[in-house]
């Protein structure tokens, strides 16, 4: 292929097609993305480990296979990046903490293994907050990641490095983890697509720190990309039991192409009653609703009253141990210092652990919240909701927690519910920053979320990318 620069603008789906059809070689594709990373990463600090040598070796092997076989896996020869919370065999996997700065695992996280089996080639690891806990991607091992639209701003957290390099064209696709918006907040900040599946959809084995206790109730692994079609392509690869993660359910993932938009009833809201979004975000949601009104059975503006419970409930539950879980993780890792952003997050929690009766009351309130949200969907006959991804665009460094927890409530709401939620770009702020819209459905209905997102992707304007 003559113009390898174009290769960094294509989706993973398109790159796979080009490689299969011998229009471009995997080696060309990998080289183009490595070159792009080397160009932009000094300003972004998004990629913290670049596996150039092994990636090129894998690319040459992929090209040799292309010539021999007509039966190729769906991501054959396509380069991807991996959030540093996921273990990659033979590659330093720090989780963003000093105690693991030299840790090299001997096997892949299950998500990484499945993507490799699908033919993907690992380009490197991406930046994140220490122990994946924070709305800013900063740690004492690698420093802070920057937003490609404005390096003075955060790319979000915890999958911020991943979102940053995807937005900047250094990687077509990656994976993140989401306990309170850690896929969707970076997607919103950087103008890409990110999806948190239904709780119990994807296996989390090999993610560090491991999920346990209350974290297990709210955390999922999901795909991140520049296009919805890549989300549709890769989510099935990440889904299903692995025989290790006990939370994963063997529930089939339905095909978005089989969804009839004309059968769907949609509700949308521009304000959850906790944090009023800026005008550009509200207009992005209204614009999406306008596109859908001729495509679906019905669309109506309605706000679930239960959403007002989400900010306080998420904060109470996640802070019920007063940060002791985080401190224990750091201690066990051998970390003797803590990133200031993580310390700030912990300091927002309760000063003492919740008494057992109080914690049990929180769990009762959680079930009440989930029930009320479900009742809204049933009583209004709603198949899909559309709303803001956040009330504000990417924050300046050091201001990621401004307005917390209300500003985080737009993402927290669906971690608490365990529902699938996808964030995609819907507009641009006055500062030229991307702003996202969020698409949500009931558990195990990812196909409806993706079908609506695909329709929006076809009809939304083409937004300007980063100038980096």
Active site residues: 83, 158, 182
Provide the CB-side half-sphere exposure for 362 (13 A, CA): 21
Structure tokens at 64: 């040799």
Measured CA to CA, the distance from residue 149 to residue 463 in angstroms comes to 12
Measured CA to CA, the distance from residue 94 to residue 85 in angstroms comes to 7
Give the residue carrying structure tokens 């709401």.
413
Beta bridge partners of 266: 299, 384
SS3 79: strand
Nearest CA to 41 out of 178, 175, 143, 173 is that of 143
Measured CA to CA, the distance from residue 44 to residue 164 in angstroms comes to 7
Structure tokens at 78: 């396509």
Measured CA to CA, the distance from residue 344 to residue 337 in angstroms comes to 13
User: CB of 167 within 8 A of CB of 226?
Assistant: yes
Q: Do you know the residue count of the chain?
A: 468
> What burial class does residue 381 get, using C-beta atoms within 10 Å of its C-beta: 0-12 exposed, 13-18 middle, 19+ buried?
exposed
**H-run or E-run covering 424:** strand 421-428
- The sign of the dihedral angle between the CA atoms of 136, 137, 143, 149 is negative
Measured CA to CA, the distance from residue 373 to residue 383 in angstroms comes to 13
Nearest CA to 262 out of 293, 222, 303, 297 is that of 297
Residue ranges of alpha helices (H) inside 334-421 are: 340-347, 356-379, 409-417
Give the residue carrying structure tokens 């070159």.
35
Measured CA to CA, the distance from residue 408 to residue 422 in angstroms comes to 15
Measured CA to CA, the distance from residue 154 to residue 390 in angstroms comes to 14
Q: How far apart are the first and last CA of the chain?
A: 24
Biggest alpha carbon distance in the chain? 67
């Amino acid at each position: 292929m003559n113009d390898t620069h174009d290769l960094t603008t294509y989706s993973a789906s398109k790159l796979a097609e080009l490689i299969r059809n011998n229009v471009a070689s995997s080696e060309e594709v990998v080289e183009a993305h490595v070159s792009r990373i080397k160009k932009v990463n000094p300003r972004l600090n998004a990629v913290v480990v670049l596996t150039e040598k092994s990636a090129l070796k894998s690319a040459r092997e992929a090209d040799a296979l292309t010539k021999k076989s007509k039966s190729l896996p769906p991501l054959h020869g396509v380069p991807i990046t991996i959030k540093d919370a996921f273990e990659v065999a033979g590659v330093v996997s720090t989780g963003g903490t000093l105690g693991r700065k030299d840790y090299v695992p001997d096997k892949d996280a299950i998500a990484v293994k499945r993507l490799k089996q699908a033919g993907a080639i690992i380009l490197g690891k991406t930046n994140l907050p220490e122990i994946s806990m924070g709305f800013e991607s900063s740690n004492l091992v690698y420093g802070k990641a920057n937003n490609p639209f404005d390096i003075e701003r955060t790319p979000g957290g915890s999958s911020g490095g991943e979102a940053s390099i995807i937005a900047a064209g250094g990687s077509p696709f990656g994976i993140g983890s989401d306990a309170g918006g850690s896929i969707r907040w970076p997607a919103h900040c950087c103008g890409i697509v990110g999806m948190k599946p239904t709780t119990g959809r994807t296996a989390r084995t090999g993610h560090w720190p491991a999920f346990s206790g209350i974290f297990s109730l709210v955390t999922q692994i999901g795909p991140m990309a520049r296009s919805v079609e890549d989300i549709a392509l890769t989510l099935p690869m990440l889904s299903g039991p692995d025989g290790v993660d006990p939370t994963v359910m063997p529930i089939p993932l339905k095909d978005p192409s089989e969804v009839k938009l004309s059968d769907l009833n949609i509700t949308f809201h521009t304000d959850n009653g906790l944090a009023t979004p800026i005008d550009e975000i509200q207009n992005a949601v209204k614009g999406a609703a306008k596109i859908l009104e001729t495509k679906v059975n019905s669309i109506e503006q309605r706000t679930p009253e239960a959403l007002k419970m989400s900010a306080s409930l998420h904060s109470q539950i996640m802070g019920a141990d007063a940060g002791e879980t985080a401190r224990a993780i750091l201690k066990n890792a051998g970390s003797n210092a803590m990133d200031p952003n993580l310390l700030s997050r912990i300091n927002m929690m309760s000063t003492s652990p919740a008494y057992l009766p109080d914690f049990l009351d929180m769990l009762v309130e959680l079930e009440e919240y989930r029930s009320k949200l479900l009742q809204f969907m049933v009583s209004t006959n709603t198949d899909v909701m559309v709303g803001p991804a956040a009330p504000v665009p990417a924050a300046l460094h050091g201001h990621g927690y401004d307005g917390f927890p209300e500003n985080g409530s737009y993402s927290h709401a669906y971690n608490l519910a365990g529902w699938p939620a996808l964030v995609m770009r819907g507009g641009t702020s006055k500062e030229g920053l991307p702003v996202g819209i969020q698409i949500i459905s009931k558990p195990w209905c990812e196909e409806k979320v993706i079908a609506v997102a695909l329709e929006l992707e076809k009809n939304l304007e083409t937004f300007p990318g980063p100038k980096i």
